[in-house]
Amino acid sequence: MADTLTPIERSARMARIRGRDTKPEMAIRLGLHRLGYRYRLHCKELPGRPDIVFPSRRKVIFVHGCFWHNHNCSVGHIPASRKDYWAAKFARNTERDAENLRRLTDMGWTSLIIWECEIKTLGDALKDAVAFLEENTPTHAK
């Protein structure tokens, strides 16, 4: 299927896609804040710039978009046009995500990924996040 937009229109549309403060991320952040959790956002010092950071717990939460991070759900599919480009892009994204998680683990941080499709049932996503935050994991010295 051919792209119905000109390259300039496509570029403008792609430039509007945010990497932070997305609706799924804001929903999780608001829910956690209402439950009394306090956190830092998009910590530049950590690999992958985690969306939500709990320094005292040494835990981070990533809120991943299913399309961009190639989740195995109905949203996380390769577009019909330019399949080679998208396959390579998603492969790079997946490799980068895995490397960031490995580096965080090596630094003594525990990570949770919440997928965009899981937020459709926000209550369940928040229960998972709270369980992750409350589970007793060994802390590492800084």
- pLDDT tens for each residue of 14-35: 666 666 778 889 999 999 999 9
Q: State mean pLDDT over 116-141.
A: 82
| pTM given for the model | 0.82
| The pLDDT of residue 8 | 82
Distance, CA of 142 to CA of 140 (rounded, Å): 6
Please state the domain extents for the chain: 19-134
Alpha-carbon torsion 101, 22, 115, 39, what sign?
positive
Confidence of residue 7 (pLDDT cuts 50, 70, 90): confident
| The pLDDT of residue 139 | 46
Distance, CA of 56 to CA of 139 (rounded, Å): 9
Share of the chain above pLDDT 90, in %: 56
Q: Across all residues in the chain, what is the average pLDDT?
A: 86
| The pLDDT of residue 78 | 81
Beta-strand ranges (E) seen in the chain are 40-41, 52-54, 59-64, 110-115
CATH architecture entry for 19-134: 3-Layer(aba) Sandwich (3.40)
Q: State mean pLDDT over 50-69.
A: 93
Distance, CA of 17 to CA of 13 (rounded, Å): 7
Intra-chain end-to-end CA distance of the chain, in Å: 52
- 38 has a pLDDT exceeding 90: yes
- 81 has a pLDDT exceeding 70: yes
Q: How many C-alpha atoms does 67 have within 13 Å on its Cβ side?
A: 6
| The pLDDT of residue 2 | 63
